[in-house]
Amino acid sequence: MKTKTLDNKASKKNNTEFMPILGTDYVEFYVSNSKQAAHFYKTAMGFQSLAYSGLETGNKNFESYVVVQDKIKLVLTSPLKSGTEIGKHVDRHGDGVKVIALWVDDATKSYFEAISRGAKSFFEPISEKDESGEVIRSGIHTYGEVVHIFVERKNYKGAFLPGYTAWNSDYKTTPIGLKYIDHMVGNVGLGEMNKWVKFYEEVLGFKQILSFDDKDISTEFTALMSKVMSNGNGRIKFPINEPAAGLKKSQVDEYLEFYGSPGVQHIAVATDDIIQTVTNLKERGIEFLQVPQSYYDTLLSRVGKIDENVESLAKLGILVDRDEEGYLLQIFTKTVQARPTMFFEIIQRKGANSFGKGNFKALFEALEREQELRGTL
C-alpha cells in the first residue's frame, strides 16, 4: 500500500490558525460565451439563476452570470470587447477556471498573512458597497493563471456581490442534488507538485492529508503523482497532480498541452444520491467516462457489502471504492468544453474520506481510450 496518510505529522508541523477559511465561496470560469455557458449549467446540471453583471448593470467590460445549486456558486464570465485580460485568458486556455474564491471572516487579514508568507498579490483588499451592504475582497495568485480571492461577506445581504443584480429568470430547471464542492484538483507541471504543496502549507496553512505516487496511479502506459492538501476545517481539499514518466503521454500532459499552463483539472461535486443525480445528468445529455462491464463482475469482492444495487451502478457506470472508514461512489464526466481540459466528478461519500484510489487504474484506462480517440495518447 503506497498511499500515505500524513494527517498527524502534518498537523503538528502546521499552524493553520493564521488563515481560518470557512469554505469555498464561488468558482469563476472565464469562458468564450457566458450566456450560453450559464444555460448549460442550468439545463444540463440543474443550477439556478442567481445574479448578473453586464451592460445593464453599468458594467461595460465583461458579462457575468452567476448560477447556484445548494452551496455551489459558479460565475461564468466573458469579455464584452476585444483586447481584454479576460479575452486573452480565453484565447490562451479556452474555457477554464480563473478564480477559486475562499470564504473568510477577514479578507484584509487573510491577504496580508498570505503575502507575508510569500504569496504573489493579485489585488489588494478592496471594499465594494451597494444598498445591500459591503463586501471586502482581496486576491493572490496560485498555480498557472489561477487565483484565490478572499471574500468577506459578513456585512452583505445582496444576491451575490456589489456590482451584480439579482438574476430573476423564468427558466428554472429541476435541481439534481448537487450539494457542495468536495474537492478541486490542480494539474501542475513536471517536478512542480512539491512546490505547490509547500505553497498551500506555508501560505494558506493547509495540511497534506494524502499522497499517491506513480505506482498508485499508473496503467500499462501512463502515470501521474498526486498530493492532497486540506484546510483546517477540512471543507477545502485540493489534490495537486503532476505527470510522471510513462510509455505514453499522460492525461496530465495532455491537459497541460491543451490548457497551455497549469490549471484546474476537475471539480468534484457531492451528492446524497448518486444514482438519482447521475440518472438525471445522463437524461440531460451529460456524458461520462465508461469503465468495462467486467469492473462490476468483481466489484463486491473488492469493496464488500454496499447499500446500492450493483446492476444499477453498472448501468450508469458508477465506480465504488472502500477505505478504512467507509466507502465512496464516484463517476467522471467527459471534458465539458472544446479543449480536452476540465471535467467534473460526481461523488457520494458513505464514510470514506479518500479519493477512490482503487478506481484509478480502471479510470485512467478509460481516459486513455478517450485520449486514443483524440490522437493525444
Residues that bind Fe ion (CB under 5 A): 268, 345
Length of the chain: 377
In angstroms, give the least distance from the CB of 239 to Fe ion: 6
Rounded to an integer, what distance in angstroms lies between the CA atom of residue 321 and that of residue 46? 26
| Cα 363 to Cα 355: distance, rounded to the nearest angstrom | 12
- Report CA Rg, the chain: 20
197, 247, 194: which is closest to 218 by C-alpha? 247
Complex with Fe ion: residue 345 or 368, whichever CB lies closer: 345
Q: How far is the CB of 268 from Fe ion (least distance, A)?
A: 4
Least CB distance from residue 168 to Fe ion, whole Å?
34
Residue 285 exposed, middle or buried by CB count within 10 Å (0-12, 13-18, 19+): exposed
Beta-bridge partners for 207:
230
Judge whether 366 and 294 are in contact, CB under 8 Å. Answer: no
Min dist. Cβ of residue 155 to Fe ion (A): 35
The region, left, alpha or beta by phi > 0 then psi within -120 to 50, assigned to residue 327 is beta
Distance CA 170, CA 84 (A): 32
Q: CB-wise, 161 or 184, nearer to Fe ion?
A: 184
Between 136 and 318, whose beta carbon lies closer to Fe ion?
Answer: 318
CB of 186 to Fe ion, least distance (A): 11
The rounded distance, in Å, linking the Cα atoms of 334 and 206 is 30
- Interatomic CA distance for residues 131 and 11, integer angstroms: 42
Residue number, 50 or 146, with CB nearest to Fe ion? 146
For residue 311, the minimal CB distance to Fe ion (Å) is 25
CB nearer Fe ion, residue 268 or residue 328 = 268
Give 95 or 182: the residue with its C-beta nearer to Fe ion. Answer: 182
Strand partners, 104: 21
Cβ distance to Fe ion smaller for residue 152 or 345: 345
In the complex, minimum distance from the CB of residue 27 to Fe ion, in angstroms, rounded to a whole number: 15
Q: Cα(344)–Cα(363) distance, rounded to whole angstroms? A: 13
